[in-house]
Structure 1
Amino acid sequence: MARIHFISGEKGGVGKSFTARILAQYLIDSELPFVGFDSDQSHSTFSRFYSDFNSLIDVDDFESLDKILEVAENKPRSEIVVDLAAQTARKLDEWIEQSDLFEILNAIDSTAYLWHVMDDGADSARLLEATLDKFSDSPVQLVVVKNMGRGNNFELFDKSSIFEKAQENKAIFLTLPKLQSALAQKIDFYNFSFWAAANNAKAMSTAERQRVKVWKNNCYDKFKRFLA
């Protein structure tokens, strides 16, 4: 059974590509078959760091999006990670509706996970509520990612009716720990994968490599709860 992970959130700057990258590294390190797709034509952040596993797709082109389903059908044991750029929900919704996506997934024995990556602001919460309303009657598994690298106080969200609605819809809640800002910036500057950041002794100090390893393991513990 292939699993398709749509890394979304709709809002820019919440860490969607960052989440896709650490998820990709987890799948690679866990030796799980992995294929990636990057929809961000302007920055291509996901494919820049994991180019050996990634290809670009165009959300404005249904045939381009269909490549996701081709992989799911032809590589039925794959984990497929789709990094969705901001403001792509409308086009993706059209593809889902007009293709009857969930009927296709049922036919090819595949499942879909929709990862809603969020900061601690009200906009992210409202976008989550819209997503919940949209997919409440679908078989998609919602994963709510509270990204501590983009917000450090989710208390209001945790007490909100939107949080309760997500619980009622059996969403998976995942808190992504923060990676030290200077360290994250250095990793991006060198175009390192997280594996390279944890193992490159020339560019990274012993302490920096260890901090990356600790952070990776903390993230992996979160993923293992539902992706082992």
Structure 2
Amino acid sequence: MSIVHLIGGEKGGVGKSLVARVLAQYFIDRNLPFVGFDTDRSHGALLRYYGEFAAPAVLDGHDSLDPVLEAAIEQPDRRILVDLAAQTQQSVSKWFDDADVLGVAHESGVTFTWWHVMDAGRDSVDLLRQWLDQFGETMRLIIVLNEIRGERFELLEASGERQRAEALGAAFVSLRHLPDTTMQKIDQNSLSFWAAAHHPDRASVGLGMLERQRVKVWLSRAYEQIDKVAP
């Protein structure tokens, strides 16, 4: 049975592509075969950092996501990883509705998991509310609390949306903040997280020994969180 992992959250800059990259590296390190699709026409993080595993899937037509489900059906031994660009939730919803995608997936033994990435801001809470209103219990939901802008998610707790999501069966994982300067060096050198953590040549990757160690620790902690939800 194949699982389609949709990495969303609607908001630009919230860390959707970062989560997609972490999941790609997780699948590689755990020897879990996968195929990636990148819907971001401007940044294309999966294509840039994990190009040998990914293909473009720009949402510019009614059938743009068809290859996602087709790949899941044709390659049931592989996970499917889809990095959704900002403000694509309505396009995905229309794709689901127009072709009864979830019905076809169910008949074919394919399941969908939505990774909803959010930061600690009010708009992320509002976007989670909209997702729950729109999709409810139609697919598995994993909410990623990205600590990019702080570790405290009081607005989420006070809103009641966390409790609502948990009542619908949602799981929560946290992604710690990797120092900005380290992430910038990784991005500037177009490094996979494996290369950032293990490449010994500082001149090639721009990361010193302790910076590489920080990446290893950060990635290990991210994997501990992902292990909890068994993707």
Which bin holds the TM-score, normalised by the shorter protein?
over 0.9
Q: Tell me whether 1:215 sits opposite 2:222 in the alignment.
A: no
Match of 2:68 in 1: 68
Given that 1:4 and 1:113 are in contact with CA atoms closer than 8 Å, whether structure 2 keeps it comes out as yes
* Unmatched segments (≥5 aa) in structure 1: none
What is the distance in 1 between the residues matched to 2:195 and 2:184?
14
Partner Cα distance (1:61, 1:149) in 2: 33
Matched, 1:146 2:145: yes
Matched ranges for 1:43-82 at <5 A: 43-82=43-82
Where does residue 169 of structure 2 map in the other structure?
170
Q: Take 1:70 and 1:209, find their aligned partners in 2: how far apart are those partners?
A: 38
Structure 1 counterpart of 2:218, one-letter code? W
Mapped partners of 1:162, 1:64: distance in 2 = 31
Q: Deviations over 1:21-68 (max 9, x none)?
A: 001100000000111000001111221010000010022223331000
Deviation, structure 1 residue 2 = 0.6
Size of the aligned set, in residue pairs, is 227
Same amino acid, percent of matched pairs: 43
Q: CA deviation at 1:104?
A: 1.0
Q: Given that residues 120 and 152 in structure 2 are in contact (C-alpha distance below 8 angstroms), is that contact kept between their aligned partners in structure 1?
A: yes
Contact 2:9 2:16 in 1 (8 A): yes
Question: Shift of the alpha carbon at 1:93?
Answer: 1.0
Q: Please state whether the residue corresponding to 2:63 is helix, strand or coil.
A: helix
TM-score, L = length of structure 2 = 0.95
Partner in structure 2 of residue 97 of structure 1: 97
Per-residue CA distance 1:85-108 (angstroms, 9 max, x = gap): 001111111101011111111111
Tell me if the contact between 1:14 and 1:118 (Cα under 8 Å) persists in the aligned partners.
yes
Is there any run of 5+ residues in structure 2 with no aligned partner, and where?
none
Corresponding residue number in structure 1 for 2:186: 187
**Counterpart residue number, 1:12:** 12
Structure 1 match to 2:197: 198
| SS, match of residue 95 in structure 1 | helix
Shift of 1:201: 1.5
CA contact (8 A) 2:63 2:95 kept: no
Q: How far, CA to CA, are the matches of 2:149 and 2:83 in structure 1?
A: 17
| Aligned-residue RMSD, C-alpha | 1.2
**For each residue in 1:154-177, what CA deviation from the matched residue of structure 2 results, as whole angstroms up to 9, or x when unmatched?**
123123211111111110101111
Whether the aligned pair in 2 keeps the contact of 1:60 and 1:91 (CA below 8 Å) is: no
- Determine if contact 1:4/1:110 at 8 Å carries over to the other structure: yes
Quote the offset at 1:152 in angstroms. 2.7
Structure 2 counterpart of 1:157: 156
Distance in 1 separating the partners of 2:62 and 2:70: 12
In the alignment, what sits opposite 1:83? 83
- TM norm structure 1: 0.96
